[in-house]
Each structure stands twice: as structure tokens, then as C-alpha cells.
Structure 1
Amino acid sequence: MKKHKGLAILFFVISLLVLSACGKSELSGLESIKEKGKIVIATSGDNPPTIFPNENNELVGIDADWAAIIAKDLGVEIEWKRVDFKGIIPGITSGNFDIGMSGILVTEERKKAIDFSEPYAIDEAVVIFPEEVTTIKSPNDIKDKIVGVVTGSSNGEAPVKEIGGYKELKQYPGVAQALADLQNERVDVVVTGKVAAGHWLKSEGKGYKMSEEGIAGTGMAAVISKDNKDLTEAINKAIIKAKEEGKYEEIAKKWLDTTFSE
């Protein structure tokens, strides 16, 4: 009787492990994505011009254009999942999303947790501030300022904390909220990526300007779980092929009126 009871418990444990494994693999792997016919992409969705909603509430921008290229090459549709920027990488590592695309910059620290695709843009940290201010030349000139940044951003929060000397650091889920507080004089300056800064100044940032110098220039890429090497390889092939076809410069020109300098 004890023997049968032991076998029953063993069978129950094995069943749980199998079910658990099945659940974890639901959003992982290139073949799984192709079988579903969609790729689930996490994004903040509020970081123009990399990713933001248009008048029809459709996500557009540099990330969106490259996501479309990737999805077309894989032969699948896109399912966007909008989350706070700081939740993207944890969501990738836990298997909640297939990839993340949200103006995410390549850093050594992030490489410890996830893999990056081939970069599809270049960015660096700059300061946005009222045009009457004459004392700011680069992000190094934030001493005694109330500084707004996107939480977890490598072109905002990270360099600002490294520079230090600020009066107060205010963190936001996206650059749109940080810039709104700049306009409402709740922060003195905003430190963010040059790509986002240039787009905002061009479209709605009247009365503000960008620092002449930037720091921490690096590539922008998709983030993928380290467990999904086949997916990373497929995405890299799609990006490299599109670059060879001129999409790198074409997409930069579309959103920034300039091309990326590497």
C-alpha cells in the first residue's frame, strides 16, 4: 500500500513539473512564436520618436518601424504590451513577453540579464532646458537642479546618478510625463536621449533647447531572453538585411530629419 502511495505521489510531482514547463515555454522560442503567428513585444509606448501613439492610438516611431520589419521577416503579427519602462526587462526574463522594444540602449549591466539584438539606432544622453538658461552645455551641468528622468533609463537616470550634484531627482514612467513637468516648472531640466529630445523640440518644445554636448552614446536595440538564442539570431538576420537595403538611414530620416552617426 505504501509503495502504491509513493508511486502516486511521484506521478503527481512529475505531472506538476510537466505542466509548469509547458506554461513557461508558452512565450519562448522562435518556433513557438511562429506557431502562434504573433510576437509579443513589451514597450512603454510613450517615448517619441522611438515609440508613441498616433492620433488613432496606433503605436508608431523608430521602434515600431523596426518591429514591423522583424515581424514581416518572421511571418508573424505584432501584439504590443504597454508597461512601465522599468518592467520591460523583468517581463522578458520571466517569460511574459517575447521581446522588448522601447528606445532601449545597449549597456553592459543590462547584458547580464538579457541579450540584445543588432542595434537599429544610436542615442546619447542630453539635457533639455528653457532656452533662456545659458549655463548648461552638457549633462555634467546639472548641479543644484531639479532633474527629471525616465525610471531605469540608461540615457537619463543612470548618467544623472553617476554625475550627481543635483538638488532633487524626479523619476517618471516615460519621457512624455517628464517633459510635461518641465513645461509646468516642476523640474528645472530633463535628461533623456538625444533622439527623443530632438523630436520633442521639433514638434512641441517651443521655448526650450538641447545641450550642445551629450554623453554615454550607445546603440539602441531589442531585448530578448538569454534562453531564446534562436529568436535573437532570427531578429539579427532581419535587422542586418534591412540595413543592407537602406532602412537604417531611411527610418532615421523619417523621424529625425537626419541620419545616425556611429
Structure 2
Amino acid sequence: MKTRSKSTIAGLAMAACLVVAAVPASADSIDLSSMKVSLDAPKPWPLKNLIEPGKIVIATSGQTEKESFVGDNGELQGALIDLWTKMADDLGLKPEFAKVEWPGVIPGLVANRFDLGCEGALWTNARLSSQDFFLTRPIQVQVNVAMVRKDSGIQSYADMAGKKLGGVKGEVELQSLLTKLNASPDGVLSLPGISEARLALLNKQMDVYGTGLHIAAAAMEGPDGDKFTILPEPTSVGVASFCVNHREADLLNAVNFLIARYRSDGTMKAINEKWGVPDTSGLLSKLAY
């Protein structure tokens, strides 16, 4: 019996030596380029706190060109609509989109009207510590800018003294402009949505529009876009996320998992390329997200 035990131990020791010998001297020598990482998930996900079982209600302004807007057929479309639709399918849910002005999205989440919302809520200390909603892992790098009319004579932030500032009510993009200029919110033109803000800038109701780079770029590609320009220096740079109903921690986990998978398997990049939306996955990776 002892002899058998000794031979067994010796055999295991020899096998261990062979395994160790087979391990590459450095992790760098392992070729991961051809390996496919499996990120399996349950379908349907066991989500217990949805507003309505079997359905995910998503709030969107429907005013962001290329990402969430109303097409010629009267239906919502864009990169985020595609992404949310796929997300709903992978969760085993039916998507229902609620078109809401941005100032009504967060209150709607708090009031338990929506499961998910925000086309890209910029991270701030107040939002990260809020008890009213959850922020998902980042979906994009958010670059905030100042957009002006070409005929305004404004070429730098120094030229904005005495000029009318404006943006979408409650958005961090507008606050970033005020912070950049060390300006008071008194007298600022606050609009309910992106379309109204663009028209206000075009019609000279305001001189400077504090917004996100992707929104400004879309405005410059749209009607009368040749009348606008963007100052080269951003007002701020950060990361942005979706917002989740604070009653639905299980949905937050599921959405975070899917965001990671879509970035890993190229889904998010493919959707962004389809709609001409800049893909910032590489920048997010540099920020460890």
C-alpha cells in the first residue's frame, strides 16, 4: 500500500513538473490574437424589478442625430436605438421607447416610469453619488465644446465676454461652458432640447451653445450646418453612461455585462460605424474602462 502511494505521489510530481515545463516563460509569449473569449449570459435574464415583466421601457429625447432621432418614417432610429434594441433582445425583453425631453428623463426614472434612459449622461460627483438612479459603466468618452455662428466673430473664449450663452436645460455640457468661462448662470438661455438650442443659435437668440462634440458635429452636418463652427479647445472631457432605475440593480448588472460584451465582440463599434458615430472604445480602454 505504501509502495503504491509513493508511486502515485511520484507520478503526480512528475506530471506537475511536465506541466510547469510546458508553461511559457512569459505571459507575453502567449498568442491571444486568435483566441475567442466567451461571454455567455442567461437568456432571458432573471430580472425581478422591471416596470412591466417581459418589457424594458427606455427613455430617449429622440433629438440626437445619428444616435436617437425620428426618421422619415416617423420611427425612432439611430445608433443608440439599434444598441438598445439588441440589448433588449439579448435580455429576452421587448423594447418600448418613450420619447421624452432630456429634463424629464431623470425625474421619470425616479418616478418609476422608465427602466433605462440617458443618451449619454456625463459622470459628475453628484450623479455618481445620487440615490435616484444608477450610472452604467461608460459607453463613450464625452468631449464638451462651445459651438458658435461663423459670423459671430467669436474665435476664442476671450471673445465671449458679454455674449449670450445657452444650451439644453439641466445638461452638464452647458455647465461645462459656464465653468470654463467662470460665468454666472444668470441670464443664460436654457432650452428644453437639442433642436431648440440649435435653432436658438442659428436665429441669434444666443451666441454660444455649450454642447457635446458629437451633437455639434451632427448639427454642422445638418441643415444650415455651414453657418456653425466649433472652438478647437474643449470646455471639458469626461465619460458618459446610460442611467438605470435605482430599483433595478439586477438590470444594472445585466446592462454592464452587455456593454462589456458589445465592446469586446465589436458590436458597439459596428453599430457606431453604421451610423457614422465616432467610436471611442480605444479611449475608454486607456481610461481603464
* Structures share fold, TM-score greater than 0.5: yes
Q: How many residues end up aligned between the 2 structures?
A: 232
Counterpart among 139, 146, 155 of residue 173 in structure 2: 155
SS in 2 for 1:192: strand
Q: TM-score, normalised by structure 2?
A: 0.72
Aligned to 2:251: 231
Kindly report which structure 2 residues correspond to 1:82-231, keeping only aligned pairs within 5 A, or say none: 82-113=99-130, 114-137=133-156, 142-156=160-174, 158-162=175-179, 163-165=181-183, 168-204=187-223, 205-231=225-251
Tell me which residue corresponds to 1:13: none
Structure 1, unaligned runs of 5 or more: 1-28
Per-residue deviation, 1:141 = 5.5
The answer on whether the counterparts of 1:44 and 1:84 sit within 8 Å (CA) in structure 2 is yes
Gaps of 5+ in 2: 1-45, 284-289
Q: 1:48 to 1:151 in 2, by over 3 A?
A: same
**AA in 1 matched with 2:191:** Y
Offset of 1:102 from its aligned partner?
2.5
The residue number in structure 2 matching 1:6 is none
Alignment of 1:63-78 (within 5 A): 63-78=80-95
Residue 13 of structure 2 corresponds to which residue in structure 1?
none
Match of 1:259 among 279, 282, 286: 279
Secondary structure, in 3 states, of the residue corresponding to 1:185? coil
Indicate the larger mover: 124-133 or 91-100: 124-133
Which structure has the greater CA radius of gyration?
Answer: 2
User: In 2, are the aligned partners of 1:69 and 1:239 still within 8 Å (CA)?
Assistant: no
Q: Which amino acid counterpart does residue 148 of structure 1 have in structure 2? A: G
What are the Cα deviations for residues 187-236 of structure 1, in whole angstroms up to 9, with x where unaligned?
A: 11211000111111123312211111213222222101333211100011
SS of the aligned residue for 2:48 comes to helix
Counterpart-to-counterpart distance in 2, 1:94 and 1:147: 32
Aligned-partner SS, 1:115: strand
User: Aligned equivalents of 1:128 and 1:141: distance in 2?
Assistant: 13
User: Counterparts of 1:194 and 1:97 in 2: how far apart (Å)?
Assistant: 27
Structure 2 CA distance, aligned partners of 1:34 and 1:98?
Answer: 7
Does the 8 Å contact 2:88/2:95 carry over to 1?
yes
SS in 1 for 2:62: coil
**Partner SS state of residue 101, structure 1:** strand
- The residue identity in structure 2 corresponding to 1:254 is K
The answer for the alignment partner of 1:7 in structure 2 is none
Secondary structure of the corresponding residue to residue 219 of structure 2: helix
**Per-residue deviation, 1:43:** 1.8
2:80 equivalent to 1:60: no
Question: Cα offset for 1:96?
Answer: 1.5
Cα distance in 1, alignment partners of residues 67 and 151 from structure 2 = 28
Q: Relative to 1, partners in 2 of residues 1:101 and 1:257: Cα closer, same or farther, differing over 3 Å?
A: closer
What is the match of residue 61 of structure 2? Answer: 44
- SS across alignment from 1:57: coil
Task: Supply the AA of the counterpart residue of 1:233.
Answer: N
* Residues in 2 aligned to 1:251 and 1:143: alpha-carbon distance in whole angstroms: 41
Conserved 8 A contact 1:147-1:188 = yes
> Displacement of 1:95 after TM fit?
1.2
| C-alpha distance in structure 2 between counterparts of 1:217 and 1:242, whole Å | 23
